[in-house]
Amino acid sequence: KLEKIWLIVGVSCLVLFLTTIGVSAFYLGNKPPSCLTTVDPDKVDQQKPFDKPGLHKVEGKDWDYELVYVAQAFSYNPAQVKVPLGAKVKVIATTKDVIHGFEVAGTNINMMLEPGYVSEYTTTFNKAGEYLVVCNEYCGSGHHLMFSKIEVV
Ligand code: CUA
């Protein structure tokens, strides 16, 4: 008898949670906050800013540089980049194929790159050195070989 009551309580909770998520996602259109901009994953190379991966100086914005990345199994473009010490940089990244990670080791930059979405993070590199960008989402047989370097000078 008691088990039956708990089973009903459990199932009711599950239904309530799923309904809440469903309404939030499909009816209210909620999405993860990092995924506000979209890009056509099949034409990434032809779309701004991904037609020119790498570091670009910008004027009239709250940041000094834009650092554009295109991820693809199993590499990042650019594979290596030099960033001036103390520069405020907006990292803009996407992926051409599957979900990849974008973690800059030793910093608090840690993004998920999803096909069709643009991930962004603005940061200031205040410490000189070499930083390793690594993929922290399993993306296939070459996942552990997927990395890029940021040199802060
Ligand atoms: Cu890309 Cu793991």
Shortest-distance atom of ligand 1 to CA 140? 2
pLDDT per residue over 67-125, tens digit each?
A: 999 999 999 999 999 999 999 999 999 999 999 999 999 898 999 999 999 999 999 99
Contact present, 112 and 119 (Cβ < 8 Å) = yes
pLDDT tops 60 at residue 35? no
Report the pLDDT value the prediction gives residue 41, as an integer from 0 to 100: 79
Q: How high is the ipTM of this complex?
A: 0.98
* Mean pLDDT, the chain, integer: 90
Cα(153) to centroid of ligand 1, in Å?
Answer: 27
Residue 33 pLDDT: 54
Neighbours of 113 (CB within 10 A): 24
Alpha carbon of 24 to ligand 1 centroid (Å): 29
Match 């000078």 to its residue by tokens. 153
CATH number of the 37-152 domain:
2.60.40.420
Domain ranges of the chain: 1-30, 37-152
Asked if 11 and 5 touch (Cβ cutoff 8 Å), the reply is no
